[in-house]
Amino acid sequence: MKPLVINFQKCSIHDGPGIRSTVFFKGCPLECVWCHNPESQSYTKEVLYNRERCGACGKCKKICPHDAIYMKEGCVGLNKDKCELCSTCLDYCVNNAREIVGDEYTVKELLKLIEKDRMFYEESGGGVTLSGGEVMVQDIDFICELARGCRNKGIDVAIDTCGYAPTEHYEKILPYANRFLFDIKLVDEDKHKKFTGKSNDLILKNLKFLNDNGAYINIRIPLIGGVNVDDNNEEVMKMIELLKPLNIKAVNLLPYHDIGKHKYTKLDKEYEGNEFTKPSDEKMNEIKMIFENNNFQNVKIGG
């Protein structure tokens, strides 16, 4: 099955240098508690239901050919075991309260979309960013063909990755990637398991592999109060010690936000990050200064 795409974002300025087109693939091996794109976690198509738009008219229930929709206390519910994602309910919803996330594209179709904005890439030093979910756990032959197609057209390719994917996938993509936007969330393994559901052993192994093979590495660190930010900067110092021996080209410090919280309701999921906090501007600048005092170049807040 072809990888599913949840979004093709044009004119992005936060996913690498310059103006970029970002392809967001569906499916991720991590289950980060703070994830702001929960619709990107599953590898399969999903229905998003916006209760605020729904008029509870019941038309979708009547028309559903699989009897997957039910009414309860004036609200519309979905039996996911019965739903075949046929989109019939979408066609009959006058309020557009439902959408299905996840579309199939061929490599040729994606390259056609990407090439439309070549002028912006050339003028700004931008390109295309392959993101997720997690791009590196997708069909790697598909991803390599896409990246190779971009490189053959002279388009810069960035791989936005959490690092949790087979090392051989990174080996295959290396000839076609100009840069890796590599996430580091936690160095403490127990905390990493607690907040993402996975050990960070493979992530750190892949980071070392990319470094040892001369990849351009841009580290991206989500900074979250209650996870990796505290008064003593304990986790930040662990990150610095981890990264110091490596050839890191840039560091982006990304303050936590919960703007994707509403998506959990649309997926009938519970958001578990209500206790997390956004670091203050003072704290973000303090952490930036710590990195710079440890000889890291090109450290930015955001981006």
**Fold observed for domain 4-42+103-301:** TIM Barrel (3.20.20)
Mean pLDDT score, 97-113: 95
Of 83-87, 205-209, 236-240, give the lowest mean pLDDT range: 83-87
pLDDT for residue 42? 95
Q: What is 46-101's CATH topology?
A: Alpha-Beta Plaits (3.30.70)
b (16+ CB within 10 A) / e for 113-132: ebbebbebbeeeebbbbbbb
Give mean pLDDT, residues 168-195.
98
Q: Is 154 left (phi over 0), alpha (psi -120 to 50) or beta?
A: left
pTM of the model: 0.94
State the Cα angle at 43 between 39 and 48, rounded to 5°: 30
Q: What is the pLDDT of residues 17-33, one digit of tens each?
A: 999 999 999 999 999 99
Q: Where are the domains of the chain?
A: 4-42+103-301, 46-101
Q: Which of the four pLDDT bands, split at 50, 70 and 90, describes residue 236?
A: very high
Task: Give the pLDDT score at 222.
Answer: 97
pLDDT band at 232 (very low <50, low <70, confident <90, very high): very high
Q: What percent of the chain has pLDDT over 90?
A: 90
Q: Give the pLDDT score at 18.
A: 96
